[in-house]
Structures are given as structure tokens and as C-alpha cells.
Amino acid sequence: GNPKGVMLSNWNLLSNIVAVQSVFEIYVGDRNAAFLPWAHSFGSTFDLHYMLRSGVHINLISDLKRIADECQVIKPHCMLAVPRVWNKFHDRVSAQFQTSGMKRFMSGQANLYSTKRIRKSGIDCDSVPAKGFSDKLFDKLVWKKVRARFGGNLRFALSGAAALSPDVAGFIQKVGFAIYEGYGLTETSPLVSANGWMGKGKSRLHTVGQPISGVKIKIDTSAWDDPDSPDDGEIIVYGPNVMQGYWNNPEATAKVMTDDGGFRTGDLGRLSDDGYLSITGRVKSQFKLENGKYVSPAPLEENLKLCPLVEQCVLDGRNRKNTYLIIHPNREAMEPALKASGLILSGGWEDACADASVRSWLLDELREKWMNKPNWKGFEMPDAIILDAEEWSTDNDLLTPSLKVKLRNLMSRHEEAINTLN
């Protein structure tokens, strides 16, 4: 639909900054590596206003593809990024660990000792210093070199704009710096909740933390009619961060604002008994299959993006018997994997993505290794796959500036292929 102008007051924005100012591990004189667009609320509030108010030196990344190279120069202490950046970091480091027997052994030992240390601490998300001779040895030999990819000083990372996989968050914690997932929207200035702001040892994986100071959350279960998830509902936000309304659009404002001043986010979630929020999907992105079963695709898509063969993906299936996938494969991982599988292909990359045997092979790989219960229910399993050879980007209008998929544009691009599915 048409974009809506969100009216945010100075106090809306300041309330967000003040709520977490004294708690996040960011100090005067720190260096920040910034690449999120400042026209986006996450980048504007935190990469700009929050960092300036905290006395942090802001360094602008010139090219998304050169984040690691430019971090070598900047040597940042803190960094805000979207999950796609952290996923790529995880995938590339994991792939390099497999390039030789010695690297597999060393990384395996580092993983073993760091896992034991973190489990013993009982701490999620926060960095836990290495302890003991062997732990410190493998931290120096393995994890220190990985930390050097971001300049060697990074201690605080915040992830937002989309769901961060717990596997990736856990991996980054083992590497040795804290990563906190936050949740918010432009209409809430943007932060609603986050791990990290409550203090050391109070973050929790599989959640986006507790509501920040001054913010309250209500779950409206009437918005989600799924007997398999009775505790899920639409997230409604109350607090000084809630927008003034949509510019010159009272009708749209009335649709999202409740009578008691709450903002209907359109996101699905649940609250634990002790107040931790988990995001389970979008009210609008959820779809119903022919059998009446609801599918919330977001967490399933994030799970698949952990596969080295998958660069980007979308799961859909509204009003169909089964779901299907649209995937932009990771060419660097896909081509050697196809060769190792014994598939004999003629032609280039686009021909491979159009080949039925390649699609069938990839779907089988994903089903066998990445669509496991309890993450995937039987009716959510796709029966077809569409491969897109071209990278999804802002240049071809398939991604937003915050790197979210423009679903309508993607569906229009593959309309003919979708219509041929059973």
C-alpha cells in the first residue's frame, strides 16, 4: 500500500534513548560502525541520536559488502546490524572452519570449551570470559582471530529489524562479544523491548527481552485463531514511545490505535510469566492453507537462512494445499555442493537455478537437514521450490533499505512460476 508518514515527537525519540542510555555497555569515546540508513527509525534513533548522546564516534560504512574490511580500519566497540549481516558472518566463519582437518579440530575444541563455559554460567547473550588453561588457549587460537574480523574491539552488538536466529546469537556469544536482539517499529520510536538493557545475566535466547523502561505490552489473543498456539496474539504497545499518529491520515491512525492509547503492531507474539517477549510472526504475513491450518512463515524462513545453501528465502502457500519456497541460493556454496552431489549440469548459473533436478535436489537437502521437528510441523513442509538466480537487493526493488524482502514485488516477479504450481 501507500507509505504512511509516522509522526514522532522529540519526547517519543528521547524516551527511547533515555530508557537504555545508562544500561547498554557503550561508553564515551567508543567507536561505532554504522551502515543502517538514517532514514530508517532503527538507524536514526540508535546509530545517530543514541550514539551522539553517548559521546560515541560514529564511523560510516561505505559499502555493505565491505563491512569486515572497513571494521579493520574503524576497530569498533559497538555495532548495530540486521540479522542478514550476522547470518553472513556465521556462515562464512563456519565454512572456513571446514576447509582443513586442523581447522575443524581447532574450532571443534574452541566450540567445546566455550559451550561448557557458557552453559555453566547460565548466561544468555552476554559475553562470558574464557576460564581455565584450555579454554583460554583455544579462545586465543580460534575465537580471537574471529573477533579480529570486526577489528578486535567489538564488545556490544545489537540486532534488529528482523528475527535473529538463536543459533547465530549463541555462536556470536561463543566468539566472545555480547549480542542483544531488540524489537521495535517506526511507530514506537522504534524500540519496544530488548535483551541487554536489564543488566548482565538477564537476557534470554529465543526472546527479544523485556519491555524497556516505561513501556508496557499486552497480547491480544483474539487476533490469532490457532488452537495449536493459544497463547499467541497481536502485540499491543503502550508508553511514551508510541507515535502521535500518521500524518494527514486519521483513518489509518484509528485502525492501529486502541481506545486506551495502545498501538496495534500487527506482529504476533507471546509473553512469558516473567515478562520476556517472543515474536512468532506477523498478523498480515500469516496465511491459511486449504485445510484451514495457519502458517506463520517468519520463524521458518529464519531457520532456513541458517543453511549455507540459502541466501534469502520466502515461504508462502496461501489458499493452496501445500506451502512452497522461493529461494535465492548462495552461489558460492551451491555450485560446489551440486558438483559433489554428482549432478551433471550444462550451462551457467541461471540454467542451474531453472533446472528441475537442481530444485528437487535442494528441496530434498532442506527437508532432510533443515526442516526438522519441532521447528517445522508436517503441514508447513513445502512441496515445491522456485529458485531465483539474481541477488535480491534494493537495486532491483526486492529489498527495503533495512534489507527486508518486498513480498509483493517478489511474488509479482515469479507470478508465472507460482501459477504453474499444483
pLDDT given at position 25: 81
- Give which of 231, 227, 230, 199 is closest to 212, Cα–Cα: 199
For residues 271 and 217, give the distance between their C-alpha atoms in angstroms, rounded to a whole number: 9
- pLDDT (average), residues 21-38: 88
Fold of 6-194: Rossmann fold (3.40.50)
Q: What confidence tens digit (pLDDT) does each residue in 51-109 have?
A: 999 999 999 999 888 898 999 999 999 999 888 889 889 988 998 998 899 999 999 99
pLDDT of 239 higher than 90: yes
Q: What are the angstrom distances between the C-alpha of 54 and each of 11, 29, 50, 105, 236? A: 17, 9, 6, 42, 30
Q: What is the predicted pLDDT for the residue at 422?
A: 65
Buried b (16+ CB within 10 A) or exposed e, 250-263: eeebeebbeeeebb
Q: What is the mean pLDDT of residues 318-342?
A: 91
**In whole angstroms, how far apart are CA 228 and each of 194, 225, 233, 266?**
27, 9, 12, 20
- Report which secondary-structure segment, H or E, holds 294: strand 294-295
Instruction: Check pLDDT > 70 for residue 220.
Output: yes
How does strand 233-238 pair with strand 263-271? antiparallel
* 211-282: in CATH 2.60.40.10: no
Q: Give yes or no for residue 47 having a pLDDT over 70.
A: yes
Please state the rounded mean pLDDT for residues 110-117.
Answer: 93
The whole-number pLDDT of residue 390 equals: 95
| 3-state DSSP assignment of residue 24 | coil
Express each pLDDT in 256-268 by its tens digit. Answer: 999 999 999 999 8
Q: How confident is the model at residue 306 (pLDDT cuts 50, 70, 90)?
A: confident
- Looking up cell 493452496 gives 320
- Is the predicted pLDDT of residue 224 greater than 70, yes or no? no
| Domains in the chain: boundaries | 6-194, 211-282, 287-419
Fold classification of 287-419 (topology level): GMP Synthetase; Chain A, domain 3 (3.30.300)
Nearest Cα neighbor of 192 from 274, 278, 257 is 278
Return the DSSP state at 392.
P
Band (172; pLDDT cuts 50, 70, 90): very high
Nearest Cα residue to 86 out of 129, 142, 125: 125
Check residue 225 and give its pLDDT.
59
